[in-house]
Amino acid sequence: MIVNRKIAIVTGTSRLKGIGRAICIELAKNDIDIFFTFWSEYDKQMPWQTDDNEPDLIQAEISALGVRCEKLEFNFLGKEGVEALLNEVKNKLGFPTILVNNATYSTQTSIDTITAEELDKHYTVNFKVPALLTAEFVKQYQGHKNGRIINLTSGQTLSFMSNEVAYATTKGAIETLTRTISQEIAKKGITINAVNPGLTDTGWLDEKQKRIFSERFPMGRLGQPEDVAKLISFLVSENAEWITGQVIHSEGGFVREHYGS
């Protein structure tokens, strides 16, 4: 087994247009070995959909950058525990020094239509499993410094998110977790931060929506997966060792509906 190499777990990497893939590529460019998880069945049910071979294509693209790359289909709603996931990473690559909780579950839920089943799915994928994976990562962490945890969140604390009750509240919980444990895990040499990528063009917008939302970005363009990936690449580097417990909004100056107009 190769030692003294940085190894990152990036969850939720199913699509070529997704944020997960962009994060993996950016980290690989910085000579970090990658272990990513995917759950194609979820993406197939979403408007953007996905092809079965996209995880294979992503793995090949990462490997071509000269780093080791492994992947695992992992259903956060399944019975397999986070210990099994970490064991798989250790067996294939070694113990990870970086954890990026990128996997998400999102369907429209208003206060009038929300069900216990749908709320449980959001809670499990967006908070419960990331929290347990974080806990196990911290418990098993073998380094003395430079451990990094990044949680992907959203802009739910900046304004209302209509018809996103389950998504917004569970993403809010992951922000609270980030702040709450930051001091405790700093003693083990691990930093933890949450990143809000803002509205990002990952294939879910139609052309009309792209035109409308582009006008609300002062820079004149939509956010791209690579934008937040570059921020995360910095946050997992040694240069970011003094940043922890923060929620960082990477939105390109996005103007929300109730501001100004």
Does 209 or 34 have the greater pLDDT score? 34
- In sequence order, what are the beta bridge partners of 99? 9, 149
Gap between the Cα atoms of 143 and 118, Å rounded: 38
pLDDT-derived band of residue 2, with 50, 70 and 90 as boundaries?
low
Q: Assess if residue 259 is contained within a domain.
A: no
The model carries a pTM of 0.91
Of 84, 88, 85, 71, the residue nearest 34 (C-alpha): 71
What 3 state SS string does the chain have? CCCCCCEEEECCCCCCCCHHHHHHHHHHHCCCEEEEEECHHHHHHCCCCCCCCHHHHHHHHHHCCCCCEEEEECCCCCCCCHHHHHHHHHHHCCCCCEEEECCCCCCCECCCCCCHHHHHHHHHHHHHHHHHHHHHHHHHCCCCCCEEEEEECCCCCCCCCCCEHHHHHHHHHHHHHHHHHHHHHHCCCEEEEEEECCCECCCCCCHHHHHHHHCCCCCCCCECHHHHHHHHHHHCCHHHCCCCCCEEECCCCCCCCCCCC
Q: Assess if residue 258 is contained within a domain.
A: no
Q: Assess if residue 2 is contained within a domain.
A: no
Gap between the Cα atoms of 120 and 46, Å rounded: 18
pLDDT in tens, 10-29: 999 999 999 999 999 999 99
- In sequence order, what are the beta bridge partners of 77? none
Q: Is the distance from CB of 156 to CB of 171 less than 8 angstroms?
A: yes
| Residue entry with tokens 């430079």 | 146
Active-site residue set:
167
Q: Is the distance from CB of 101 to CB of 74 less than 8 angstroms?
A: no
Of 152, 52, 161, 140, the residue nearest 105 (C-alpha): 152
pLDDT in tens, 238-249: 999 999 999 999
Q: How many domains does the chain have?
A: 1
pLDDT in tens, 124-154: 999 999 999 999 999 999 877 899 999 999 8
Q: What is the CATH number of the domain that holds 116?
A: 3.40.50.720
pLDDT-derived band of residue 207, with 50, 70 and 90 as boundaries?
confident
Q: What is the pLDDT of residue 156?
A: 66
pLDDT-derived band of residue 191, with 50, 70 and 90 as boundaries?
very high
Q: What is the pLDDT of residue 163?
A: 66
Q: What is the pLDDT of residue 80?
A: 81
The single-letter code of the amino acid at 173 is A
Q: Assess if residue 254 is contained within a domain.
A: no
Per cent of the chain over pLDDT 90 is: 65
Q: Assess if residue 1 is contained within a domain.
A: no
Of 59, 235, 47, 32, the residue nearest 148 (C-alpha): 235
Domain that holds residue 89: 7-249
Q: Assess if residue 94 is contained within a domain.
A: yes
pLDDT in tens, 29-68: 999 999 999 998 877 777 666 788 999 999 999 999 999 9
Strand order in the sheet with 247-249: 69-73, 33-38, 7-10, 98-101, 147-152, 190-196, 247-249
Q: Assess if residue 257 is contained within a domain.
A: no
